[in-house]
Structure 1
């Protein structure tokens, strides 16, 4: 029996089974995800607890994932061992006591774009916060970058987060030091929610210095994690959670990143999901922006310098176009071509020039020259003296 579509509300039994399976396997395990796809969470849990999959499902999974039956059985044994210490009822109770909810496929709050991850989609998500996760992510942008961000990177991320929030877009990031926290804080200066995707349980504050930041995010947005309560962060969990940052948002912006940066891992996930990528250029002498420059040079990202350009990249066609940047408009810009030619033909030094001389130098007839000279005089650009026309001193 194949798992029902995400549009069907999950039963309490299915929710409890998913809570148990989140303890059994590591986040993003595609084999476990495929097992749930094939037979549903309740049956998947039952077979793992038995310690052996049915022959039909074993052959199917081994064929799908290119594994031998022996390798598959070893995985099942590992899941079963971890289940022995799992207490899904307690996980749900602990979550409720601290205001966390387990959102699973089929729930109204489940962001359907996570289904793009296929077998790698989360088994469920622990969510803490006042905002609705699905609604918050309908119009969302991921901003990622270096933990050891420079003042430039922090400024860019903060400004972009605030500008996007002012336009009603949600900022998604990882809650880390540097670019992540700057983007969250920028978004929190607006009315828009922000989403922090953690690599540990939502009840575990990492980094510890973000206790106050996470408290505000709970009030104005959401903290989410596919790790169960009490789970500590690990290097692999940071890398695995990056796929959620990429999948939840319409596009990912790299505000600042070195060549070797975890942010580029998020970019790779976004590229695999066919999401838009933007990169903010930095000083060519800065190693902290070398990763952004590489993305631009390789054609993997488009150059973005502000929120308007980000929305032009990822927003709705025709609705979020960024205005073309223009220089400062000055009065001379409004002059006609003939008036410009006349103005250029008038000497800036020495005695003035007569209309005929000006007309010849401007390449126009005498009547047109006289007409343009009158208009330029009225506008204060030129003046007529005893020796002819000359430029007016406009200092």
Structure 2
């Protein structure tokens, strides 16, 4: 069985048992998780096969158990370059999943106490195993990573913000975690990859396939530089319930979770609620009050269900979840890291000065500035396309922006100044 197991001293019996369990039931099955915690994976499989389980939900797995072949699953995974990572291995993300252990224990107490109805948004319990494709050692997830989620039907505004966040955070060595879906997810992944950074796709199907299939190229790039992670074995198709269930893993794998755009019933809000339950920092990007894709973000910022930080760019995210070293570096190189603003808090002085300088300009230069990406250079031609303006208008606006200390020339074009010039 060479090639199918994680690095570390893990017996084949444990690998086979964990592979069996990941196929036997849907992810986040509370009674199965309880059975494994109580007896260990090998004995749990033995009890299931012999039918010596009391819980009716486990008894109902009997027909499905007969068709489970963990040897075949491990061999298929090996063919697709997918490895099985288990709690007994060195690569298991214990740090990232510690909060899920706590929430899982609390949910288990409710379950054993009679509250057995399955949560529509996914039960907050840890995974039994993870199938991983890609070079990233996932044991360090949540140490320096950010979940970026949002609407599938994202607006141009949402796409731009998510791309800039993914790009800027990757430049600062944060791992960008998302779900690989249309809209905000794919924009965040692509932003990170554009910066030659690391990104993790938490998928609802097998780790060998891209979902949606049109994102095949993106998934392959993520597998080259980061990881594709799934609770389901190779060959499993994505299902609606698995999308909601995997959201707890996106929340767990990020030091914090940022919602860029979300409608009132967006699945991104489910991810945010999982993050809040786990004690993770939740952030939201405000948007136009006229946009249905910003309703969910604004609801989060009202903090009716839990704390949420207001963020408008990379600096705000870093100040909310970064280390003291990030702040020291930012201050040393003159970047404008804010003070982890939330609703009701004041913006940093540099951001206020920036807004004053923008307000002093005419409408045309302001529009050109707003079309510039947050963390990279852009040519006048690219900027004209981004702003839906003529190249002549861009060339006329750039000197005014330079004079105001808002943009600077680079070898590749122009970029926003890291801080307003004095």
Class of the TM-score when normalised by the shorter of the 2 chains: 0.7 to 0.9
2:239 to 220, 234, 243: 234
Query: Which aligned segments of 4 or more residues in structure 1 are displaced greater than 3 angstroms?
Result: 317-321
- Identify if the C-alpha distance between structure 1 residues 39 and 320 changes in structure 2 by more than 3 Å, giving closer, same or farther: farther
Please report how far the alpha carbon of residue 25 of structure 1 lies from its aligned counterpart in structure 2 after TM superposition.
1.2
Residues 70-219 of structure 1 aligned to structure 2 (within 5 Å): 72=55, 74-112=56-94, 113-118=96-101, 119=104, 120-135=125-140, 137-219=142-224
How far apart in 1 are the matches of 2:178 and 2:23? Answer: 24
Please report how far the alpha carbon of residue 311 of structure 1 lies from its aligned counterpart in structure 2 after TM superposition.
1.2
* TM-score (ref. length: structure 1): 0.74
CA contact (8 A) 1:200 1:227 kept: yes
CA contact (8 A) 2:318 2:326 kept: no
Please report how far the alpha carbon of residue 38 of structure 1 lies from its aligned counterpart in structure 2 after TM superposition.
0.7
> Over aligned residue pairs, what C-alpha RMSD do you find?
1.7
CA contact (8 A) 2:99 2:279 kept: no
CA contact (8 A) 1:126 1:225 kept: yes
1:285-330, CA deviations, whole angstroms, 9 ceiling, x for partnerless residues?
1111011011111263110011111011112246437242242599
1:251-301, CA deviations, whole angstroms, 9 ceiling, x for partnerless residues?
100001111100000011001101000000001111110110111112631
2:282 match: secondary structure:
strand
CA contact (8 A) 1:204 1:231 kept: no
1:75-134, CA deviations, whole angstroms, 9 ceiling, x for partnerless residues?
222223211111100111111111100001122211112132224111111000122222
How far apart in 2 are the matches of 1:140 and 1:269? Answer: 16
CA contact (8 A) 2:93 2:141 kept: no
Matched with 2:259 is: 254
- Identify if the C-alpha distance between structure 1 residues 37 and 183 changes in structure 2 by more than 3 Å, giving closer, same or farther: same
How far apart in 2 are the matches of 1:85 and 1:174? Answer: 29
1:256 match: secondary structure:
coil
2:290 to 277, 285, 291: 285
Matched with 1:320 is: 327
Please report how far the alpha carbon of residue 215 of structure 1 lies from its aligned counterpart in structure 2 after TM superposition.
0.9
Matched with 2:270 is: 265
CA contact (8 A) 1:10 1:106 kept: yes
How far apart in 2 are the matches of 1:293 and 1:10? Answer: 47
2:228 match: secondary structure:
strand
2:225 to 208, 220, 224: 220
1:302 correspondence with 2:309: yes
How far apart in 2 are the matches of 1:320 and 1:273? Answer: 25
How far apart in 2 are the matches of 1:281 and 1:140? Answer: 21
Please report how far the alpha carbon of residue 137 of structure 1 lies from its aligned counterpart in structure 2 after TM superposition.
4.3
1:49-85, CA deviations, whole angstroms, 9 ceiling, x for partnerless residues?
00113xxxx5xxxxxxxxxxxxx1x222222321111
Please report how far the alpha carbon of residue 242 of structure 1 lies from its aligned counterpart in structure 2 after TM superposition.
0.2
2:215 match: secondary structure:
helix
- Identify if the C-alpha distance between structure 1 residues 121 and 136 changes in structure 2 by more than 3 Å, giving closer, same or farther: closer
How far apart in 2 are the matches of 1:216 and 1:34? Answer: 37
- Identify if the C-alpha distance between structure 1 residues 28 and 9 changes in structure 2 by more than 3 Å, giving closer, same or farther: farther
Matched with 1:10 is: 10
How far apart in 2 are the matches of 1:280 and 1:121? Answer: 28
Matched with 2:392 is: none
Please report how far the alpha carbon of residue 31 of structure 1 lies from its aligned counterpart in structure 2 after TM superposition.
1.4
Please report how far the alpha carbon of residue 206 of structure 1 lies from its aligned counterpart in structure 2 after TM superposition.
1.1
How far apart in 2 are the matches of 1:40 and 1:224? Answer: 23
Matched with 2:318 is: 311
CA contact (8 A) 1:141 1:170 kept: yes
5+ residue gaps, structure 2: 1-7, 105-124, 329-336, 339-347, 358-422
